[in-house]
Amino acid sequence: MSIDLRDDAPIGREDLLDLYGSVGWTAYTRDPDRLVRALAGSRCWVSAHDGDVLVGLARAVGDGETIGYVQDVLVRPDRQHAGIGRALLTRLLDRLTVRQVVLLTEDEPHVHAFYRACGLERADEVEGGPLRAFVRLG
């Protein structure tokens, strides 16, 4: 397996739908046009490809100066646990030359371990904190 990471490379609609669908993110796949617009409106993204097959994606939104939100990190289930997610997130974080990086994720121990291994900290454990996050999901 030879994975190719690409910065801000064009990704076709069907490839996006296939990737998001493979991980069960139906909130994204219910409105394909919105997903395409979301990617286009992202600050930056890194995609992982095995030949012509899209196997992973990490994307960020933000102002490019002070804050970046890691919006999505996803890898096809049959390609997980091979270092692709870490490679995607590491490259994305290197590209986000901002003061604050924020990520909102589910409360699962294996997910926490992954993000900690990539150098992120829980908001309630940040030195000088604790910080709190407030959200509205719709």
The reply to whether 74 falls in a domain is: yes
CATH of residue 65: 3.40.630.30
What does the pLDDT read at residue 126? Answer: 86
What does the pLDDT read at residue 35? Answer: 97
Omega of the bond leading into 130 within 30 degrees of 0 (cis): yes
Which amino acid appears at position 82 of this protein?
A: A
**pTM reported for the whole predicted model:** 0.92
Angle between helices 109-117 and 84-95 (to 10 degrees): 50
Number of domains observed in the structure of the chain: 1
The reply to whether 66 falls in a domain is: yes
The reply to whether 136 falls in a domain is: no
pLDDT in tens, 47-82: 999 999 999 999 999 999 999 999 999 999 999 999
The reply to whether 137 falls in a domain is: no
What does the pLDDT read at residue 1? Answer: 64
The reply to whether 132 falls in a domain is: no
**Cα–Cα distances in angstroms (integers) from residue 69 to residues 78, 95, 96, 110, 119, in the given order:** 26, 12, 9, 21, 15
Contacts of 117 (CB under 8 A, 6+ apart): 86
Q: Which residue has the tokens 């609609």?
A: 13
The boundaries of the domain holding residue 75 are: 4-125
| pLDDT under 50: residue ranges of the chain | none
- Residue 60: what are its φ and ψ, rounded to 5°? -135, 150
